A and B are shown apart, each in its own frame.
Chain A
Amino acid sequence: MHKIIDVEFEADVLDANRRIADDVGEHLDSHGILSVEFMGSTGSGKTLIIEKLVDHLAKNGKRAGVIVGDVAGDDDYRRIKAHGAEVVNVNTGKECHLDAHLVEHASEKIDLDAIDCLIVENVGNLICPADFPLGTKKRVVVISVTEGDDMVRKHPVIFQIADAIVVNKIDLAPYVDVDLKVIQTDLKRIAPHVPAFMTDAKHGENLETFMDAILDE
């Protein structure tokens, strides 16, 4: 004989990550640290913007710690290290995104009393990071014009849940036949309440405006 039973769960599988993210956030708050995550497409300029942000913070007497997620390698780690920040490299291997658990462990390797700002570079990916908040106070999504003018409408949710949007490499727009207005119109429709910055991180255009906005608590 056998009996059929119905078992209720009502458990959100994605909640486990969110709970750890909340812990990470509280822990960073208790050290008075402003934390910012950079997500976005591969090669959009996340590391370059972080390098400039580390310098910008240093100029204002503030110290940065950086957690760099990459599928493999330590290129970004070394670039950021050269700017004097304390950097921890996290190779995600097969995973396409960081999660709060990885960030929790990585942050244990940083002396949290010795920094004012914790910056996290996520793996280049416009999809998965959206489902896995890391616990940072702010989430920035970075795309660049060289990816075409349709990135926003192809990946709407990541823009909608971000705290700031950077559209980078505007210096290259004329060379790739991209009209910034198309991207701006999409942003206005899809994520009208998220501040967006059109930057050229290489030459510094609009970058200060973005950095001041993101560091403003």
Chain B
Amino acid sequence: MHEFSVASSIVSSVAAEAARRGASRVTDVYLGLGELNFLCMEQLVYAIGIISEHTALEGATVHIENRPARIRCNSCGYEGGAQHEEFGEFHQSIPLLSCPSCGGSTDILEGRECEIVNATMVMEE
């Protein structure tokens, strides 16, 4: 439930960048959301919509790319995606962080991020 605080840092950094460049409007914001964080996509989009009222981002379309986890094995050096376990009637899928190759423990390289990738802005000339 921290979508609102994350949304406000997204809106304020994009709005600040728009102001710095003298852009009048932001039409699109592209985000990359790792599968290992706890941000709920719908809530994040909703929160950005509300917070961006009366800012340069008002009415901007938010595009979210879901990013899979990347892990590195501490034993065999495997680097790549994580295995998933499907279960339950809702087909919820749990990323498993053990090494898919040897079962060893791993470090998370990617998948926890909430990245502002880029934004499309309009400059009046």
Contacts A4-B120, A5-B23, A131-B38; A97 near B2 (Cβ below 8 A) = yes
A2–B17 Cα distance when bound, in Å, is 18
Nearest CB in chain B to that of A7: its residue: B119
Tell me the smallest distance from the CB of A9 to a CB of chain B, in Å.
Answer: 4
Q: A2-B24, A4-B27, A5-B121 are in contact. List 13 more A-B contacts (CB 8 A).
A: A2-B123, A2-B125, A5-B123, A7-B23, A7-B119, A7-B121, A8-B117, A9-B13, A9-B115, A9-B118, A16-B9, A95-B5, A130-B38
On chain B, the residues within 8 Å of A217 by CB distance are none
On chain B, the residues within 8 Å of A156 by CB distance are 94-95
On chain A, the residues within 8 Å of B108 by CB distance are 161
On chain B, the residues within 8 Å of A95 by CB distance are 2, 5
Q: Please provide the chain A residues from 164 to 217 with a CB less than 8 Å away from any CB of chain B in the complex.
A: 189-193
A2–B13 Cα distance when bound, in Å, is 23
Interface residues on A, range: 20 to 34
Tell me the smallest distance from the CB of B3 to a CB of chain A, in Å.
Answer: 10
- Mask for B1-40, Cβ within 8 A of A = 1, else 0? 1100110011001100110010110010000000011110
Contacts A14-B113, A131-B2, A157-B38; A5 near B17 (Cβ below 8 A) = no
Mostly, the B contact residues are mixed
Nearest CB in chain B to that of A191: its residue: B97
Is A1's CB within 8 Å of the partner chain B?
Answer: yes
- Interface residues on chain B, number (Cβ under 8 Å): 43
The answer on a CB contact under 8 Å between B85 and A189 is yes
Is A10's CB within 8 Å of the partner chain B?
Answer: yes
On chain A, the residues within 8 Å of B1 by CB distance are 96, 127-128
The answer on a CB contact under 8 Å between B117 and A10 is yes
Nearest CB in chain A to that of B27: its residue: A4
A84–B36 Cα distance when bound, in Å, is 39
